[in-house]
């Protein structure tokens, strides 16, 4: 599997942002990528920075957006992982990933299950939690376990994808920090974000692909100064080893992943063999008092 990670900042308009994304997909295709992964909600600014009912209008072109990205996947002959604002019905919206095959057909979709609600990340205002569960999407490049951003903090989601035969875990992401935070706090946040995803790779013996946006995005309400999205997209192998790490600038990274290593690693580290499923019943509880 030859995967392209596309991390870039949002531009001045949707058309300009799409143009940038498509130009990077074209370059990825020319460099031999057969899987392209885009960042979370890549068509617009991270609108969840503020609660504003007008932002629901961003989903009005949802059906046209599907057709557009299907045509891009077909034009450049890549399996394409997108992240879109899905309008399902009046007043019902999801944060969803749509995966398109090389011929432009829809291979499958995933609706974000874990929805955050924090200062500057008001996603519960916009998104209904997903109802499709944790089901890998079969494509010509393999079985993809696609999750989205906040899902990356939950080991249960990664485990269930792995238990259903995912060959790689993929996380389109929009995460950053507030510039008023101390350097130590910023370092802790970024390190935790990387380490939790590497732990999913190790615990499940699977490669992990994580793609984050970059650049400063401002809060139109001016309640906060904004969010600096830190990029640092990366790919790691099934033992958590880094195959590529991006920086904080725009970047197109092409990374080769050897899916056969999963079998080799799981033979050495047989976590699935040694799971004590008979002792995990309490995991279904919110908390054990």
Q: Which domains does the chain have, with CATH numbers?
A: 2-274 (3.60.110.10)
Checking if the pLDDT of 77 tops 90, the result is yes
Does the active-site annotation cover 86? no
Residue 67 exposure: Cα atoms within 13 Å on the Cβ side: 4
Convert the pLDDT of each residue in 81-132 to its tens digit: 999 999 999 999 999 999 999 999 999 999 999 999 999 999 999 999 999 9
CA dist list (Å): 82 to 72, 93, 271: 11, 16, 31
Return the sign of the alpha-carbon dihedral for residues 160, 166, 172, 178.
positive
Tell me what pLDDT residue 223 has: 86
* Set 87, 102, 112, 190: catalytic member: 112
Query: Would residue 236 show up in a list of annotated catalytic residues for this protein?
Result: no
pLDDT at 266 over 90: yes
SS (H, E, C) the chain: CEEEEEECCCCCCHHHHHHHHHHHHHHHHHCCCCEEECCCCCCCCCHHHCCCHHHHHHHCCHHHHHHHHHHHHHHHCCEEEEEEEEEEECCEEEEEEEEECCCCCEEEEEECCCCCEECCEEHHHCCCCCCCCCCCEEECCEEEEECCHHHHHCHHHHHHHHHCCCCEEEEEECCEECCCCCHHHHHHHHHHHHHHHHHHHHHHCCCEEEEECEEEECCCCCCCCCEEEECCCEEECCCCCEEEECCCCCEEEEEECCCCHHHHHHHHCCCCCCCCHHHCHHHHCCCCC
Distance CA 206, CA 259 (A): 8
* Candidate list 48, 102, 123, 149, residue with the active-site label: 149
Catalytic residue among 40, 86, 101, 123: 40
How confident is the model at residue 145, as a pLDDT? 98
Instruction: Name every residue whose Cβ is closer than 8 Å to that of residue 143 and which is 6 or more positions away in sequence.
Output: 136, 137, 165, 166, 167, 168
Q: What's the pLDDT score for residue 73?
A: 98
Cα angle vertex 16, ends 10, 20, to 5°? 70
Using a 10 angstrom Cβ sphere, with 0-12 exposed, 13-18 middle and 19 or more buried, the burial of residue 61 is middle
State the Cα–Cα distance between residues 219 and 120, nearest whole angstrom.
8
Residue 31 predicted with pLDDT over 90:
yes
Please state whether the predicted TM-score (pTM) of the whole model is above 0.85. Answer: yes
Tens of pLDDT, residue by residue over 51-67, are 999 999 999 999 999 99
Annotated catalytic residue 14: no
Q: What is the pLDDT of residues 274-283, one digit of tens each?
A: 999 999 999 9
Mean pLDDT calculated for residue range 244-250: 97
CA distance 227 to 5: 21
How confident is the model at residue 89, as a pLDDT?
Answer: 97
């Amino acid at each position: 599997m030859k995967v392209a990670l596309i991390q870039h900042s949002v531009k001045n308009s949707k058309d300009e942002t799409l143009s940038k994304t498509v130009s990077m997909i074209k370059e990825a295709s020319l460099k031999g990528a057969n899987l392209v992964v885009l960042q979370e909600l890549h068509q617009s600014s991270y609108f969840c920075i503020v609660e504003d009912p007008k932002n629901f209008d961003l989903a009005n072109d949802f059906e046209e957006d599907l057709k557009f990205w299907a045509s891009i996947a077909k034009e450049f002959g890549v399996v394409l992982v997108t992240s879109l604002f899905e309008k399902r019905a009046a007043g019902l919206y999801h944060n969803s990933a749509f995966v398109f095959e090389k011929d432009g057909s829809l291979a499958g979709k995933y609706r974000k299950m874990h929805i955050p609600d924090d200062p500057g990340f008001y996603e519960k205002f916009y998104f209904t939690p997903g109802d499709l569960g944790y089901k890998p999407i079969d494509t010509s490049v393999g079985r993809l376990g696609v999750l989205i951003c906040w899902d990356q903090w939950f080991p249960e989601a990664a485990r269930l994808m792995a238990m259903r035969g995912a060959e790689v875990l993929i996380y389109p992401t929009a995460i950053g920090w507030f510039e008023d935070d101390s350097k130590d706090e910023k370092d802790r946040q970024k390190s935790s974000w990387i380490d939790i995803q590497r732990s999913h790779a190790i615990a499940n013996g699977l490669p992990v692909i994580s793609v984050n946006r970059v650049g400063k995005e401002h809060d139109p309400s001016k309640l906060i100064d904004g969010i600096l999205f830190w990029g640092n997209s990366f790919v790691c192998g099934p033992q958590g080893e880094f195959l590529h790490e991006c920086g904080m600038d725009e970047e197109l990274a092409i990374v080769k992943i050897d899916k056969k290593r999963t079998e080799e690693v799981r033979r050495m580290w047989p976590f699935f063999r040694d799971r004590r499923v008979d002792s995990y019943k309490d995991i279904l509880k919110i908390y054990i008092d």
